[in-house]
Structure 1
Amino acid sequence: MSDFLSGGSPSSQGLESVMTLEQFIIDQRDRFPQATGSFSRLLRDLSVAAKIINHNIRRAGILDVMGETGRVNVQDEQQKKLDEIADTELERALRRGGECCLIGSEEQPETIPMSPDAKAQERFAVFFDPLDGSTNTDVNASVGTIFSVYTLPEGVDADD
């Protein structure tokens, strides 16, 4: 059992035992010579959005973004301001990255095709709950972003 699992801290083990998400993605990509890097870039885009969402959550009180928007999402739940911010950041990162052709969010009533300028070969559809557990933000409890990535079958367009 590693020191970390038996109670030691990562700092007591040294940085050589810590692997970042970016390092893991690169290591995995290198294991598959046929990989184009598109999926790796998509994961990078998601991780950038997650970092921005984290930053906004940590500063929510200062930014005055606590509480509800007055709207409901597709699950008929009261939408929080942080839900909306997280949704916007994920859409922005995925649109900017250009690695997916379609997104779907719990905060949006319809799926959203990405720009027609997106690379024609990109077949990824990303679906997400941008801020799962957002009601926990009022009591400073755990939240997270849940996402899934699918490859659209050949012959199916994002508009279908």
Structure 2
Amino acid sequence: MERHITLGEFIIENQKDFPYAKGDLSALLSSIKLAGKMVNKSINKAGLAQILGKVGKENIQGESQAKMDVMANDVFISTLRNRGEICGLASEELEDYVAFEDDIHKEAKYIVLMDPLDGSSNIDVDITIGTIFSIYHRISPIGTRVTKEDFLQPGKNQVAAGYLIYGTSTILVYTTGNGVNGFTFDPGIGSFFLSHPNMKFPKEGSIYSVNEGNYIHFPKGIKKLIKWMQELDKDSNRPYTARYTGSLVADFHRNMLMGGLYLYPQGSTAPKGKLRLLYECNPMAFLTEQAGGKASDGKGRILDIIPKELHERVPFICGNSEMVVNAEKFIRENKED
């Protein structure tokens, strides 16, 4: 009889992958799992609970906050605060980082950065959304108050990253630097079960995900790349198929399973790109590389960028390695005058 491995069992069995953690990283991942289950429950009854729509406020990026954005942010903060594994966190929804001041939290070794509800503009129309998280070792001394510098680390310093995707099924995907694994939530039992072991990008891809409504604003290299992907060429399996939902988690998850390229470049309306380095690009780049892919800002490796601010934005390209290398080539050969 086939054995069904729960997320909790998998974390315990793979404790050897991070022996330096002494169990606290495992406990932190379990806390994220718990918060995700709570958010998933609220999403499933959002219409009945009347928590769809906007709250009439903007987040630090000047974007209108959905009620579910606020709910998810509160759930993750309260759940992580109630445990003892982190000394602070930063969220896309908050202007500044949150430092947990009591003695127990000051002794913690980890910080969390998160996008509590990615793709929230899709909530009211019932399209897949998600949560993105990133975990780092603090660099400030144990026992002291966490500092801003703890959060401004390059993505290559991540010890774990992942996402929860809330769709036709709820899946938690994460890496600790030893491959990528996915776990599907069984609501009847209340547990996540290993469903996607050792996830990898297929060697070749034929999907591209980009908001072509912004085409006129894109730099020349990206415009030429898009036209190239749309050309008929049977030898290179073109034209590629366009798939874009407006939810990074949804588009990334599909492309990792089926093979594809995700693009959110800079443009005249977003000179530095739109996605946030700390909350979206770094965790997705870590997952991408662990799944055999490549993540770039169009010029170099995302995980090597040294952040300068909490809400820094960067262009983002990720997916199958060959597809990303090709995108970089188009950008390099078609520099703006």
Q: Which category of TM-score, normalised to the shorter sequence, fits these structures?
A: 0.7 to 0.9
Establish whether residue 76 from structure 1 lines up as the match of residue 62 from structure 2: yes
Residue identity in the other structure for 1:158: V
Match of 1:158 in 2: 146
Match of 1:105 in 2: 91
Paired with 2:82 and 2:116, the residues of 1 have a C-alpha distance of 17
Match of 1:52 in 2: 38
> How far 1:135 sits from its partner (Å)?
1.1
Matched-pair contact (CA < 8 Å) for 1:101–1:125: yes
Give the length in aligned residue pairs: 146
> How far 1:33 sits from its partner (Å)?
5.2
> How far 1:108 sits from its partner (Å)?
0.8
Residue identity in the other structure for 2:75: E
> How far 1:31 sits from its partner (Å)?
5.4
Matched-pair contact (CA < 8 Å) for 2:99–2:145: no
Distance 1:31 1:77, change over 3 A: closer
Match of 1:89 in 2: 75
Match of 2:27 among 1, 23, 41: 41
In the TM superposition, structure 1's runs of 4+ consecutive aligned residues that sit over 2 Å from their partners are 30-35, 117-121, 154-157
Match of 1:61 in 2: 47
Residue identity in the other structure for 1:57: I
Match of 2:151 in 1: none
Paired with 2:20 and 2:136, the residues of 1 have a C-alpha distance of 19
> How far 1:19 sits from its partner (Å)?
2.4
Match of 1:128 in 2: 114
SS of residue in 2 equivalent to 1:118: helix
Q: Which has the larger radius of gyration?
A: 2
Paired with 2:22 and 2:124, the residues of 1 have a C-alpha distance of 42
Q: Percent identity?
A: 36
TM-score by length of structure 2 reads 0.41
Paired with 1:31 and 1:120, the residues of 2 have a C-alpha distance of 25
SS of residue in 2 equivalent to 1:84: helix
Paired with 1:35 and 1:128, the residues of 2 have a C-alpha distance of 21
Distance 1:77 1:119, change over 3 A: closer
Paired with 1:48 and 1:31, the residues of 2 have a C-alpha distance of 22
SS of residue in 2 equivalent to 1:153: coil
Deviations 1:21-66 (A, max 9, x none): 2121111115555541100111111100000000000010111100
Deviations 1:66-120 (A, max 9, x none): 0001111122211000000000000011000111001001111110001323244
> How far 1:15 sits from its partner (Å)?
5.4
Q: What root-mean-square deviation, in Å, do the aligned CA atoms of Structure 1 and Structure 2 show?
A: 1.8
Matched-pair contact (CA < 8 Å) for 1:46–1:90: yes
Distance 1:35 1:124, change over 3 A: closer
Establish whether residue 148 from structure 1 lines up as the match of residue 113 from structure 2: no
Paired with 2:18 and 2:76, the residues of 1 have a C-alpha distance of 27
Residue identity in the other structure for 1:113: A
Distance 1:31 1:146, change over 3 A: closer
| Higher deviation after alignment, 53-62 or 35-44 | 35-44
Residue identity in the other structure for 1:76: G
Q: Where in structure 2 are there 5+ consecutive unaligned residues?
A: 149-337
Match of 1:5 in 2: none
Establish whether residue 20 from structure 1 lines up as the match of residue 6 from structure 2: yes
TM-score by length of structure 1 reads 0.83
